[in-house]
Amino acid sequence: MKSAAFVQSWQQALPSTISFPIEQRVATAYVFCLLAEEDPELVNPQDLSQWRFWVVPTAKLHSDRRSIGRQPFIRTYGDGLRYEELASRIEALRPALPVSQIDATHQPD
């Protein structure tokens, strides 16, 4: 998981510049998350509606880059997902079991 936020816990003159590190490529996919609220008075990391998520298969990451900024990231991977969409997107990446394994593990009632 790689995360970023415009607002940090320390005093800031301006919102942080968003850049995601992408140098490690060990996992099947990475979850990138952005705490997207820019107003320090409104930001609440516990409010999941303020977050955007991206599930990016490792094979789709730029192999020659160590990081990627917010706008190039969004152009490449889209606007992101709401928290409620995250589990199904991750689940979709799981390799499907062959039908023979499903039949072998299914126990009729």
Q: pLDDT tens-digit profile of 38-87?
A: 887 888 888 999 989 989 888 888 777 777 878 888 898 899 999 999 99
**pLDDT, greater one: 5 or 88:** 88
Give 15-37 pLDDT, tens digit per residue. Answer: 666 767 776 667 788 888 888 88
Place of tokens 């992101």: 80
When pLDDT is cut at 50, 70 and 90, the band that residue 4 belongs to is low
Residue 101 has pLDDT above 50, yes or no: no
* pLDDT score recorded for residue 35: 84
The total domain count for the chain is 1
Q: What is the pLDDT of residue 48?
A: 92
CA angle 69, 75, 78 (to 5 degrees): 105
- Tokens 């298969």 found at: 57
Count of alpha carbons within 13 angstroms of residue 70, beta-carbon side: 14
Residue 13 CA neighbour count, 13 Å, CB half = 0
Tell me what pLDDT residue 109 has.
47
- For residue 38, what are the domain limits? 2-105
Beta-carbon contacts of 106 under 8 Å, excluding residues fewer than 6 positions away, are none
Residue 82: the pLDDT is 94
Secondary structure in 3-state letters for 44-87: CCCCHHHEEEEEEEHHHCCCCCCEEEHHHHHHHHCCCECHHHHH
Whether the per-residue pLDDT at 98 is higher than 70: the answer is no
The closest alpha carbon to 16, from 33, 44, 37, belongs to: 37
